[in-house]
Structure 1
Amino acid sequence: MKPTIKNAWLATVLLTAITGTAACGGNGNNSATPADNGANGATQASSQGADKTGDSGEPLSIQMFAGLYNEVPDMNDAFWTEWQKQTNTKLNVEWVPSGDLDTKLDLLLASAQLPEVLAAPDFKRPTLINAIKGGAFWDLTPFLGDFSKYPNLKNNVPENAYKYRTIDGKIYSLPGSRSQIDPGIKIRKDWLDKLNIPVPTTLDEYADALVKITKGDPDGNGRADTLGLIGGGVIISDGDASFASAFGAMEPTYNDEGGLIYTNLNPGYTDAIAYFRKMYEMGALSKEFSVMKRTQAQDLFTTGRAASYTRSIWWDKEWEDLIKKNGQPDAKILNLTLKGPKAYAVNLTLGGTGSFLISKKVPEEKVWKLLDYFEKTASTEMSDLAYYGIEGVHHTVEGGQKVLTEQGVKEVNTTSKNAGVLATQKWGKVISASGDKAYNDAKIAEVQNFGEIGSIDPFAYLISDTWNDVWAKYQNEWKSTVTQAIVGQITMDQYKQFVDKINNLPEAKKAYKEFAENFKAMNP
């Protein structure tokens, strides 16, 4: 199911903004808001936003909370110096390691000690939704108006970006533009070749291939100690959405009352858990899957100790190089196209799940300037800088393809793309900035059809306050029960009984009704 934007919806939001009917919620001390100025809101955006970021004048100081996906960056290095120069800003960023990001974010929201800008990886995280509804962030709808002053924020983001992030018809966050094609189920192609194993095309063939690899000593160390599938908890973190897609878990599934059942608790997802149970019994799934952290999983894969892992496709070149440095010079990573019982094991993102929110403590005058900054970051020029850095310093041009230098690999990475909206790119999470044209052309060909065969989880954008309360009570117990089912501590029938218990709660049924209504409104 691939959601599509409806022009009527966008027209309604824009009309609301222009007429000033959408008020800025909040507990801030600002007495004047764009909505107070009625129909003059768009005009005010023009006058107050005239001092564009990047023009002459003092740099705009921005305090930001954002995710860290690489080494902590030196904000005075060549890349960040150029980024701040082109945007005429001084960035003061609290970089939080990705593995701790959700926990730190929840603590930050609870403390109410918000930075000026919050970069959140998931725009619908319940704690974030609650903070928004509690007035912690600016309603940006009247600021953005008809987007005439922000053409990059209108035209360079995924087409569904604002539609799916509205709360009560209002826009509180700007998207972190990324491509729909993102995660891939990776396997060591060189190990398949070494052991004469055909490239698997189905989930069953994939499981069989992993068993053969774990028993076949592909790294040549004389021991059968190679791990099969790994991940940060696998079924509760890296990769579960891709595998669950193959069992139809992403297709809208309704209960007898017409309520839309939460993805993790629908029959397709339960079938995916049964598959992981089989993988565990066969030895294809790492015995440590339930306690493995993301950083540990990445280290295991890049040191050549594991056969399969699911993460963003653009890591492949960097990880191949690391594996080669770790004594396996023939390393080659392949992203698989695996057919399941009901669909392919390909998960598509909404293409902009990340969010940039502005604290209500920020004065209105600065909100305009921050929006000018984000407008600048959504330009193709700044996006090119985020992906490739400075020519001659961070990249060279070889055969028409920009290729990162050693300094570029160090300074231009996932973290460097996390301080601005950026223009969306179809292959942005597929191609490697350190790969040459031939490498990237081959990588695109590898996943060329993902956009057509992949599935999107509708709960990536659906919101229910009732469900937030229900899931907060049962999520940890569900995770524990999933692990017990996979490792064989309980039967699958016992797992299904647990799922039925949650699905039959009156409050869960109420939430499912809300989800169904929300889904219908989003996809009329």
Structure 2
Amino acid sequence: MGFRRGWTILAASSTIALALAGCTNNNAAPSDSPASPAPSASATSSASPNDSNAELDKLGLDSNLKFKETRKITVEVYDRGNDGGSKPEDNFYTQYIKDGMLRDHNVEVTFVPVPRWTEGEVINNLLAANQAPDIGVTYDYATIQTYANMGGILDLAPLVEDNKAILPNLWGYLTETNINWDKDPSTGTLWALEARLNTLNRINTFVREDWLKKLNLPAPTSLQEFEDMLVAFKDNASTLLGSDADKMIPFSTSFDIGWRADHLTASFVPNDITDRDIFIHDFDDRHLLYPNYKEGIRVLNKWYNEDLIWKDFPLYPAGDQTEDNLMKAGYVGAFIHNWDYPYRNGNDSIHASLQKLVGPDAAYIAIEPFANDAGDYKKFLSGPVDRKVFFPASNKEPVASMLYLDWISELDNRVFLQFGEEGVTHEKMPDGSLATIAATGEKIMNSPANIDYTITSNGLDLGDPDLTVKSMANGYAGVDSRFIVTANQITTHEGRIGKNANVGAIQAEDGQGQALKEKRDTFLNKAVTASVDKFDSVYDAGMKDYLNSGGQAIIDERTSAWEKYFGNETMLK
């Protein structure tokens, strides 16, 4: 989430991406340290750098890359507030990391929890107070840039270059692409490393497959068919819900309209949009400023006024479970959300809850109903980048922090964190792939595949693409594989993949990320819920305020930056 910088979109693709496995959230009571796999490559003599002992000695390291005197670092970790989850800063997996870093590098690690759903605001406050963890993680690059301009962020360029020999896993995994994605082409400064996104899967449109069958409706393949389906759900509420007919919600969304309606709004964007136009307007990662976006929101406004959308959607903040509970109870006909959302969280998933409460045929299935002006089901996908990892200027142990990133990027460590212990949280299949086991007690994961700890990586990666794909398919206990296969195929179908158009810092974005995000969410909510005759005035007023509050200045500076580096070109080569 948050506002991205310095990238644009290039070339359509029908790539079927790899995927994240869902994990259960059960009660946890961490106690003993987890068993560890073989020592990481960074701790073995085979991976020792060619640097002389004298050079290592300057860093305080011995020939095994262990500090001669114990160093201490703090690391940010998201607190998702999961019911029944473990303490994000103190659990089975944090102990695994602590033990490994102490064993391999003589570094003591302390985790600092940051609320996931308000992470941008909290990171702002911690940086302002000079209290940020030594290793920070955020989706909001604008915040990093703001504090970098005030001297509050360390330049990582010399750290990754000068210490390259002792960071083989970090360089091998992120490669030049992700390490230098944000490197300023003019100054050479590097304020953050981009984590590797192993899957381009983003969102999907889901409908109740059993409701389609009950009403003898085909899966919609156009906007009109989708709307007709919603009307059919509403008109047949008694048939579908019986005595709960008054609880019918044909279509659900949330306060984050930009994310939750993205496939709908993207279908209104002209297919021939240029790389130039995308870069200039893409600082809002919900695609708010793309041409014709407003018409997608107009459709939602129409549906809202026809009682096809959940009336209370603006009332609940990020992390609230009300909407999920409505889905689990069987009241919601369709929604747009993260690509595998109904199938996540094992026994507590929307899918599992529906099957228990409604029946074995009750299920959501991904569909593809929103075609653009060229008849393509276009999706605007990310480049291979994810969260931004940075060091605040208060970090007094940058080399130890770099070794942490190297350790967390090592294959054995990543796989253990993603899957846990064999026979406990996963089993090895005859084909060599791994299948997750619903975790209980101290072995649960607070985030899918523990992405909150694999901070240089998002998405399953076993080092073998074939095994990774097979393991992904194994990763949804109790879910028929056809649902996962369908969702995985649709989410990236006819996608337009992000590429790096790095033009350096856009000064107008400084400090604007969170403020513009809040303005966007607020005025989109008001536009959707306005009366039809007031829609244009409400939307236009909200957009004018957004632009006057910094949005237009960003557009203008991005336009100038594009012209500086790419001249009159409209497409990247």
In the alignment, the residues of structure 1 paired with residue 500 and residue 250 of structure 2 have an alpha-carbon distance, to the nearest angstrom, of 29
Q: Measured at CA, do residues 259 and 188 of structure 1 come closer, stay the same or move farther in structure 2, by a change above 3 Å?
A: closer
Contact (CA 8 Å) 2:255, 2:313: kept in 1 or not? yes
The answer on 1:144 being equivalent to 2:175 is no
Q: Which residue of 2 aligns with 1:484?
A: 526
CA deviation after TM superposition for structure 1 residue 220, in Å? 4.4
In the alignment, the residues of structure 1 paired with residue 549 and residue 479 of structure 2 have an alpha-carbon distance, to the nearest angstrom, of 56
Q: Measured at CA, do residues 346 and 292 of structure 1 come closer, stay the same or move farther in structure 2, by a change above 3 Å?
A: farther
Moved more, 226-235 or 374-383: 226-235
In the alignment, the residues of structure 2 paired with residue 332 and residue 193 of structure 1 have an alpha-carbon distance, to the nearest angstrom, of 11
Of the three residues 532, 552, 555, the one matched with 1:512 is 555
The answer on 1:165 being equivalent to 2:172 is no
Of the three residues 127, 136, 147, the one matched with 1:109 is 127
Unaligned 5+ segments in structure 1 are 5-39
Q: Which has the higher contact order (CA 8 A, sep 6+)?
A: 2
The answer on 1:96 being equivalent to 2:114 is yes
Q: Which residue of 2 aligns with 1:154?
A: 171
The answer on 1:406 being equivalent to 2:438 is yes
3-state SS in 2 of match to 1:248: coil
Of the three residues 200, 209, 213, the one matched with 2:233 is 213
Of the three residues 45, 58, 63, the one matched with 2:74 is 63
Of the three residues 360, 363, 382, the one matched with 1:332 is 363
Q: After superposition, where does 1:212-361 map in structure 2 within 5 Å?
A: 212-217=232-237, 218-236=240-258, 238-248=259-269, 251-252=273-274, 260-261=280-281, 263-294=287-318, 295=320, 296-317=322-343, 318=345, 319=349, 320-342=351-373, 343-344=376-377, 346-361=379-394
In the alignment, the residues of structure 2 paired with residue 185 and residue 52 of structure 1 have an alpha-carbon distance, to the nearest angstrom, of 53
- Calculate the aligned-residue CA RMSD, in Å: 4.1
CA deviation after TM superposition for structure 1 residue 345, in Å? 5.7
CA deviation after TM superposition for structure 1 residue 121, in Å? 2.6
Of the three residues 203, 206, 215, the one matched with 1:183 is 203
3-state SS in 1 of match to 2:556: helix
Q: Which residue of 2 aligns with 1:373?
A: 404
> TM-score, normalising length from structure 1?
0.77
1:349-403 Cα shifts (integer Å, max 9, x gaps)? 333321221122122xx21121111112122222222221111121123454422
Q: Which residue of 2 aligns with 1:48?
A: 59
In the alignment, the residues of structure 1 paired with residue 398 and residue 424 of structure 2 have an alpha-carbon distance, to the nearest angstrom, of 34
In the alignment, the residues of structure 1 paired with residue 176 and residue 221 of structure 2 have an alpha-carbon distance, to the nearest angstrom, of 32
Q: Measured at CA, do residues 265 and 499 of structure 1 come closer, stay the same or move farther in structure 2, by a change above 3 Å?
A: farther
Q: Which residue of 2 aligns with 1:10?
A: none
Contact (CA 8 Å) 1:79, 1:411: kept in 2 or not? no
CA deviation after TM superposition for structure 1 residue 171, in Å? 2.0
Q: Which residue of 2 aligns with 1:22?
A: none
3-state SS in 2 of match to 1:170: coil
The answer on 1:417 being equivalent to 2:451 is yes
Q: Measured at CA, do residues 206 and 150 of structure 1 come closer, stay the same or move farther in structure 2, by a change above 3 Å?
A: farther
In the alignment, the residues of structure 2 paired with residue 171 and residue 439 of structure 1 have an alpha-carbon distance, to the nearest angstrom, of 45
CA deviation after TM superposition for structure 1 residue 348, in Å? 1.9
3-state SS in 1 of match to 2:558: helix
Contact (CA 8 Å) 2:426, 2:435: kept in 1 or not? yes
In the alignment, the residues of structure 2 paired with residue 505 and residue 391 of structure 1 have an alpha-carbon distance, to the nearest angstrom, of 55
Q: Which residue of 2 aligns with 1:494?
A: 537
Unaligned 5+ segments in structure 2 are 1-7, 12-50, 462-467, 567-571
Q: Measured at CA, do residues 177 and 311 of structure 1 come closer, stay the same or move farther in structure 2, by a change above 3 Å?
A: farther
In the alignment, the residues of structure 1 paired with residue 70 and residue 233 of structure 2 have an alpha-carbon distance, to the nearest angstrom, of 55
Contact (CA 8 Å) 1:234, 1:289: kept in 2 or not? no
In the alignment, the residues of structure 1 paired with residue 547 and residue 114 of structure 2 have an alpha-carbon distance, to the nearest angstrom, of 38
Q: Measured at CA, do residues 281 and 189 of structure 1 come closer, stay the same or move farther in structure 2, by a change above 3 Å?
A: same
The AA in structure 2 aligned to 1:223 is A
In the alignment, the residues of structure 1 paired with residue 279 and residue 475 of structure 2 have an alpha-carbon distance, to the nearest angstrom, of 47
1:104-160 Cα shifts (integer Å, max 9, x gaps)? 2333233332121212133x2x33321122122211111111845434333423875
1:211-250 Cα shifts (integer Å, max 9, x gaps)? 32244343444424122332331424x4233332222279
Contact (CA 8 Å) 1:389, 1:408: kept in 2 or not? no
The AA in structure 1 aligned to 2:555 is Y
In the alignment, the residues of structure 1 paired with residue 125 and residue 63 of structure 2 have an alpha-carbon distance, to the nearest angstrom, of 34
CA deviation after TM superposition for structure 1 residue 495, in Å? 4.5
1:242-278 Cα shifts (integer Å, max 9, x gaps)? 33222227945879xx993464234321122112112
Moved more, 388-397 or 335-344: 335-344
Identity %: 16
In the alignment, the residues of structure 2 paired with residue 448 and residue 54 of structure 1 have an alpha-carbon distance, to the nearest angstrom, of 43
Q: Measured at CA, do residues 298 and 455 of structure 1 come closer, stay the same or move farther in structure 2, by a change above 3 Å?
A: farther
CA deviation after TM superposition for structure 1 residue 499, in Å? 6.5
> TM-score, normalising length from structure 2?
0.71
In the alignment, the residues of structure 2 paired with residue 304 and residue 158 of structure 1 have an alpha-carbon distance, to the nearest angstrom, of 45
Contact (CA 8 Å) 1:247, 1:341: kept in 2 or not? yes
CA deviation after TM superposition for structure 1 residue 515, in Å? 1.2
The answer on 1:134 being equivalent to 2:141 is no
Moved more, 489-498 or 345-354: 489-498
Contact (CA 8 Å) 1:246, 1:341: kept in 2 or not? yes
Q: Measured at CA, do residues 232 and 508 of structure 1 come closer, stay the same or move farther in structure 2, by a change above 3 Å?
A: closer
CA deviation after TM superposition for structure 1 residue 59, in Å? 7.3
Contact (CA 8 Å) 2:145, 2:191: kept in 1 or not? no
